[in-house]
Chains A and B, each alone.
Chain A
Amino acid sequence: QQQVKQSPQSLIVQKGGISIINCAYENTAFDYFPWYQQFPGKGPALLIAIRPDVSEKKEGRFTISFNKSAKQFSLHIMDSQPGDSATYFCASAFYNQGGKLIFGQGTELSVKP
């Protein structure tokens, strides 16, 4: 019930294309959904996060779409660039029970020039 399933495991996109990574969760009590970006040898960096009271959040080229009824959320990277090549992790957490992020398994994104 606390799993977060992330797909695909790896993704190759051409420069300028749209990268889409999907996550599905089971526990309807989750109410905080961040995405992290991690470059090799570095720690994860928060990219964008959403709460279930909104269906979409956009920051620059990055957009989270959230479907509460389907218990799914996704990250869209518009105009993908080679510098976006990294591993992306979605995560879920319970509001006001901070401390425990439930991570997806990660997606390795490669953007080809």
Chain B
Amino acid sequence: DTEVTQTPKHLVMGMTNKKSLKCEQHMGHRAMYWYKQKAKKPPELMFVYSYEKLSINESVPSRFSPECPNSSLLNLHLHALQPEDSALYLCASSQSLAGGQETQYFGPGTRLLVL
């Protein structure tokens, strides 16, 4: 089973709201990722967690705050977003970051609209 689940599927929020995106995998993977994808563009890496520790932050604005409470869960906390942050937010996981185990499996994404 190579399933990564994400909730909610859709989210509409105002610029002053605080919301969270959730991601879960039960494949025993120890690396998890957040990506942002705009229409007709490739996914852009935001954050990488390895063994529940933040490994990569691609200079993402602080209004996005990731959290990895355990090896199966990944959250993305959102606060004071801008309309240009509207996008599809994708979660992915891989066995680890080691060579040969880096194949990433993506979830279906959360479609975020910021008004």
Residue numbers of A with Cβ under 8 A of B are 32, 34, 36, 41-46, 49, 87, 89, 93, 95-101, 103-106, 108
Asked whether, in the complex, the Cβ of A103 is within 8 Å of the Cβ of B42, the reply is yes
Asked whether, in the complex, the Cβ of B42 is within 8 Å of the Cβ of A106, the reply is yes
Asked whether, in the complex, the Cβ of A100 is within 8 Å of the Cβ of B96, the reply is no
Interface residues on chain B, number (Cβ under 8 Å): 31
Bound: A49/B102 CA distance, A: 11
B29 → chain A closest CB, angstroms = 11
8 nearest A-B residue pairs (beta carbon): A98-B97, A103-B42, A98-B102, A43-B106, A96-B99, A99-B48, A95-B99, A44-B106
B12 within 8 A of A: no
Asked whether, in the complex, the Cβ of A99 is within 8 Å of the Cβ of B108, the reply is no
Asked whether, in the complex, the Cβ of A43 is within 8 Å of the Cβ of B109, the reply is yes
Bound: A100/B31 CA distance, A: 12
**B77-115 with Cβ < 8 A to chain A:** 90, 92, 94, 96-109, 111
Given contacts A99-B55, A101-B45, could you give 10 more A-B pairs where the C-beta distance is less than 8 Å? Answer: A32-B99, A41-B111, A43-B4, A89-B43, A96-B98, A98-B31, A99-B33, A99-B97, A101-B43, A106-B41
Give A89's nearest chain B residue, CB to CB. B42
Query: For B111, what are the chain A residues with a Cβ–Cβ distance below 8 Å?
Result: 41
Bound: A98/B50 CA distance, A: 10
Give A51's nearest chain B residue, CB to CB. B100
Query: For A32, what are the chain B residues with a Cβ–Cβ distance below 8 Å?
Result: 99, 102
Bound: A43/B37 CA distance, A: 10
B62 → chain A closest CB, angstroms = 21
Asked whether, in the complex, the Cβ of B106 is within 8 Å of the Cβ of A34, the reply is no
Asked whether, in the complex, the Cβ of B42 is within 8 Å of the Cβ of A45, the reply is no
If A98-B31, A98-B96, A98-B101 touch, whether A105 touches B41 (CB-CB below 8 Å) is yes
Max chain B Cβ within 10 angstroms of own Cβ: one of A87, A103, A104, A108:
A103
Asked whether, in the complex, the Cβ of A44 is within 8 Å of the Cβ of B99, the reply is no
